[in-house]
Amino acid sequence: MLQGSLGGSFFHAKTALNENLKKIRNLDDEWCQLHKMYDEKFSEYTNVVLNENNPSKEKLLYDECYTLAGRIKHISEEKRKLARESSDNINSHLETINDICKVISDKIRETSAADASIKRRGASKRGDKRKEAEAKEELEINEVLNKDTVVAMENEPIYCICREVAYGSMIQCDNDKCPIQWFHLECVKVTEIPKDDELWYCDKCSHKKNIKKKS
């Protein structure tokens, strides 16, 4: 559409300019012929005025020179008019080109902005997909780790009155026949591990041995 407008404007301006130039050339040819005729008539008129005493012929030649001068003046004015029209057409064409170029420039900026927006959205989507993939991968890793942990826990022995695997600080019952043996400190409410020369028994073993338990 823009190319058509630009091409149409250029064709119109070129056609109008060519027509005006053709008219100006024709007027130039006519002007030259009239000016030549004027020079001849004026020379003849001057000769009659200076060398002949013939008022009627002098009047006739004067009128012919006056008419030729009027036609020459008219042609000169027509040439100036055509030159102004050509200049106006060229300026109008240049303004049209500027307007079309501005529209094209605006469309290029809009297209560039749209492309940049699409790229940003694409980058955002790629970023979202990457985050989703990372989250999925992390979830899969956690699932594997959880499965491994469960398997490991299933294979580990359990201790304490809580019947859990060993973790943290633990204390051993000094009754060799204690069915549990090891206890988590927090489960048996022991705040500190007894010294090496001190004995510690769990509640069940303490009752059996009737021993006062240290905690």
Residue-wise pLDDT tens digits, 104-137: 778 788 877 776 666 666 656 666 777 887 888 7
User: Cα separation of 155 and 147, whole Å?
Assistant: 12
Examine the pLDDT at 31 and tell me if it is beyond 60: yes
In a domain, 16, yes or no: yes
Q: How many domains does the chain have?
A: 2
One domain, residues 114 and 160: no
What pLDDT band is residue 15 in, cutting at 50, 70 and 90? confident
CB atoms within 10 A of CB 206: 16
In a domain, 135, yes or no: no
Report strand pairing: 170-172 vs 164-165: unpaired
* Residue pLDDT, tens place only, 187-202: 999 988 888 888 999 9
The reply, when asked if residue 74 is annotated as ligand binding, is: no
The reply, when asked if residue 101 is annotated as ligand binding, is: no
Contact 182, 170 (CB under 8 A): yes
Examine the pLDDT at 1 and tell me if it is beyond 60: no
Q: Is 124 left (phi over 0), alpha (psi -120 to 50) or beta?
A: alpha
98-106 LR contacts (CB < 8 Å, sep 24+): 100/2, 100/5, 100/6, 100/9, 103/2, 104/2
One domain, residues 91 and 165: no
**The domain boundary residue, chosen from 91, 118, 145:** 118
One domain, residues 110 and 24: yes
One domain, residues 13 and 98: yes
Both tokens of residue 169?
């600080």
pLDDT at 36: 92
The reply, when asked if residue 162 is annotated as ligand binding, is: yes
Examine the pLDDT at 64 and tell me if it is beyond 90: yes
pLDDT at 194: 85
pLDDT at 39: 93
Examine the pLDDT at 54 and tell me if it is beyond 80: yes
The residue range of the domain holding 67 is 7-118
Taking residues 55-83, what's their average pLDDT? 92
pLDDT at 195: 85
What pLDDT band is residue 146 in, cutting at 50, 70 and 90? low
Tokens 């790229």, residue? 119
One domain, residues 12 and 61: yes
One domain, residues 32 and 108: yes
pLDDT at 154: 60
One domain, residues 16 and 87: yes
One domain, residues 77 and 164: no
Examine the pLDDT at 100 and tell me if it is beyond 80: no
One domain, residues 89 and 186: no
What pLDDT band is residue 68 in, cutting at 50, 70 and 90? very high
Helix, strand or coil, per DSSP, at residue 158 = strand
One domain, residues 12 and 113: yes
One domain, residues 101 and 185: no
CATH number of the domain enclosing 184? 3.30.40.10
**The domain boundary residue, chosen from 98, 118, 138:** 118
In a domain, 201, yes or no: yes
What is the pTM for the complete model shown? 0.43
**The domain boundary residue, chosen from 118, 142, 167:** 118
pLDDT at 185: 93
Taking residues 169-179, what's their average pLDDT? 91
The reply, when asked if residue 65 is annotated as ligand binding, is: no
pLDDT at 50: 92
CATH number of the domain enclosing 52? 1.10.287
